[in-house]
Amino acid sequence: MYRSHYRDVLRYALVLTRNDWDAQDIVAETFLRAWDAWQAGREPVGTPLPWLFTIARHLATDRWRRLQRALPRGTDRLVSNPMLEAESRAWLQSLCGLLPERQREVIVLRYDHDLPDSEIGRVMRLSESGVRSLAARALGVLRAHPEVWR
């Protein structure tokens, strides 16, 4: 499972955190928790990728909440990552600057990871129509900024 989904979970964690170090930590903890759950007989229903995304999202949310309490207002946590592949780096940078967090997340899950709306809804705790609505708003923002598509 790790070999098959490491890269997908890392890219998702990068979108959530915008920081390579935090993303790497979240990926490690995601697979550790997945392993523990699997060993305890709580394996995923269906494909494991949405399940891993859900674990990663919960970890990122917990990390964000802890940091919000610890960091002074206005602290910029965006750190460049020279290890990212060129395509991923360009894609993430363009989206990070244009989309709010939830819109960015739905676009990544839908188009980068090819998840159906039902699985995206489970990860993001939205209904399928909520996923479609959020994705439509995100695409509207991107269409208004054609430089993303260059």
Q: What is the pTM of this model?
A: 0.55
pLDDT tens digits, one per residue of 58-111: 898 887 776 655 544 444 444 444 444 555 545 555 555 678 889 888 888 887
Beta-carbon neighbour count of residue 91 at 10 Å?
A: 19
Nearest Cα residue to 87 out of 114, 110, 112: 112
Distance between CA atoms of residues 70 and 27, nearest Å: 22
**What is the pLDDT, as a whole number, of residue 146?**
59
Q: Supply 8's token pair.
A: 């997908």
Catalogue all structural domains in the chain, each as residue range(s) with its CATH number. Answer: 2-149 (1.20.140.160)
Q: Supply 78's token pair.
A: 């965006």
Nearest Cα residue to 23 out of 125, 31, 71: 31
